[in-house]
Amino acid sequence: MRTVRIHVKSVIKLAVIFGCFGGIMFAMWPKTTEEFIRETENSYKNLKQRAFEIAASDGKLRLEDIDPNSANGFPKLTKDEIGNYEPKDWKVPAGPGEGGVEPLKLDDSTEMQKKQKDAINEYGFNMVASDAISLDRYPADLRHEECKHYQYPESLPASSVIFVFHNEGWSTLVRSIHSVINYTPPELLEEVVLIDDGSNKEHITGGRLEEHIKQWNGLVKLYRNDRREGLIRARSIGARKAVGSVLIYLDAHCEVEPNWIVPLVEPMVHDYRICTVPMVDAIDGATYVFTPQAGGDENNFARGAWDWDLLWKRIPLNDRERARQEHMTSPYRSPAMAGGLFAISRKFFFELGLYDEGLDIWGGENFEISYKIWMCHGQMLFVPCSRVGHIYRMKGWRGNGTPSYVKGNFVDRNYVRVVEVWWDEYSKYFYERKPNAKHVDPGDLTEVKAVRERLQCKSFDWFMKEIGYDLPKHFPLVEPSNAALYSFTRVIFYKACSLTPSVAFKVTRA
């Protein structure tokens, strides 16, 4: 009897010990990103309800609650009147880097120069210069004068601004957040969503960021992926976490210009399937001076495009699109976007199935989303009056590397996925340029193809004829076999083009 009782006690003790241990392990075991995604999707309903309650109390509106008719006739250009959302008392103070006009002067000791070189190598930017500039500095205002005279409707939706980052430098990252909060009307900013995509630098993981964002009382939310997912999947995760009805993606090294958000979100009130892209001005990574976006037409207005090996290109705004604009600075159509900075309604982005989950890290996603938007019944507009400064990575940056689980040439694989799903018979032009890509295994495409099927999206040929109609003029479908033939084709093309564009189209395609 006695031995049995001791035995039972031991078993109970052991069970308790294992139970506790198991419980602790269960609670502490890191979540996989998939579990994280599922959990966030499940909690979205509650979040949305909460967001709705908060919104109701502080005057924030959701896109789905705004009557599109309330935006009829807007935006209205009133030449003699200042726009209703123009910032008042815009006075740039004195101070290093203020207004983004004067280059920052640093002492040029050898030690200082080395520090700057090391920073560029590590972050792609001169962090020494950035650290010397206020986190709340005033940006430049590179908008056309006309932009300051638009009246916008009173009812506009509040947005979630999403920053995805991996090991960004401190002051450029944090200034991006400050900039959005400082230069966005509070009722139009639902939240700032930070997605830390597997950073391992102390200034991001060591608690400093959590401490810094406390000053905004929950307006800025920080989420961390348990492994580096890459920009593309991290952006989809951001969409799932965000509670706003409009999502705005910005790179985590940006500074917005005055009244950037109103012209960007207003088109969505007319139709939730309109996706918008701001003008992207360049902030010099060494001096932090703003310069206007280059290229494009005489106003520097460009559209996004690609060549037939799927490289990003910019082409000028043309007469046919200009004819559709009401004013010189009205939004205009673009076949593609560069990808880093854009706004889309949450509803439409989810209808489109977010980004293809099979795309790794970066590359091709800007085209995937562009094709989806146009072919699946949406529109993409570039918005001249919404301008955002972006710091371009400098020469000498060592880059972010590739996580070890991503095998092979992921960019080519991404391109093949995009071409296979969206290009239809035009895919032959891609494979003619990149014969090796024929042997690249794109992986499972069922889910992405199902999106195209479910939404009854249009054909690529429709897209090329209606939206990307002048791309072959800039990037001929069939590569000229030699330079002489190339110039000959161009002469023929331009001749034909000046007569009838549709004939010209056929000439180039032949």
Residues in 18-57 at the binding interface with Mn ion, rule: CB under 5 A: none
Q: Is 251 in the site for Mn ion (CB under 5 A)?
A: yes
Q: Measured from the CB of residue 297, what is the shortest distance to Mn ion in angstroms?
A: 24
Q: Measured from the CB of residue 99, what is the shortest distance to Mn ion in angstroms?
A: 22
Q: Measured from the CB of residue 283, what is the shortest distance to Mn ion in angstroms?
A: 10
Q: Measured from the CB of residue 394, what is the shortest distance to Mn ion in angstroms?
A: 12
Cβ-based nearer residue to Mn ion, 261 or 388: 388
Residue 472: closest CA among 306, 323, 337: 306
Specify whether the backbone of 177 is left (phi greater than 0), alpha (psi in -120 to 50) or beta.
alpha
Segment interacting with Mn ion, rule: CB under 5 A, options 48-56, 248-256, 308-316, 484-492: 248-256
Site size toward Mn ion (CB under 5 A) is: 1
Q: What does each C-alpha distance from 371 to 254, 334, 367 come to in angstroms? A: 26, 11, 6
Find the helix or strand (DSSP H, E) in which 370 lies.
Answer: helix 365-375
Going by the DSSP 8-state scheme, the letter that residue 206 receives in this structure is S
Cβ-based nearer residue to Mn ion, 400 or 508: 400
Half-sphere exposure (CA, 13 Å, Cβ side) for 406? 19
The two structure tokens encoding residue 7: 């035995």
Segment interacting with Mn ion, rule: CB under 5 A, options 56-64, 182-190, 249-257, 434-442: 249-257
The residue number with the shortest CB distance to Mn ion is 251
Q: Is 197 in the site for Mn ion (CB under 5 A)?
A: no
Q: Measured from the CB of residue 251, what is the shortest distance to Mn ion in angstroms?
A: 4
Q: Measured from the CB of residue 161, what is the shortest distance to Mn ion in angstroms?
A: 15
How many Å from the N-terminal Cα to the C-terminal Cα in the chain? 96
Cβ-based nearer residue to Mn ion, 251 or 412: 251
Cβ-based nearer residue to Mn ion, 251 or 351: 251
Segment interacting with Mn ion, rule: CB under 5 A, options 246-254, 268-276, 281-289, 349-357: 246-254
Residue carrying the six token digits 């703003």: 290
Cα–Cα distance measured from residue 238 to residue 221, given in angstroms and rounded to the nearest whole number: 11
Segment interacting with Mn ion, rule: CB under 5 A, options 147-155, 244-252, 309-317, 323-331: 244-252
Helices (H) and strands (E) in the chain, counts: 19, 14
Segment interacting with Mn ion, rule: CB under 5 A, options 105-113, 243-251, 262-270, 484-492: 243-251
Cβ-based nearer residue to Mn ion, 280 or 464: 280
Find the helix or strand (DSSP H, E) in which 277 lies.
Answer: strand 274-283
Alpha helices in 242-354 (DSSP H): 261-270, 319-322, 346-351
Residues in 392-411 at the binding interface with Mn ion, rule: CB under 5 A: none
Cα–Cα distance measured from residue 305 to residue 418, given in angstroms and rounded to the nearest whole number: 15
DSSP per residue over 439-464, as a string?
A: G------HHHHHHHHHTT---HHHHH
Cβ-based nearer residue to Mn ion, 61 or 120: 120
Q: Measured from the CB of residue 391, what is the shortest distance to Mn ion in angstroms?
A: 7
Cβ-based nearer residue to Mn ion, 229 or 251: 251
- Per CB under 5 A, residues contacting Mn ion are 251
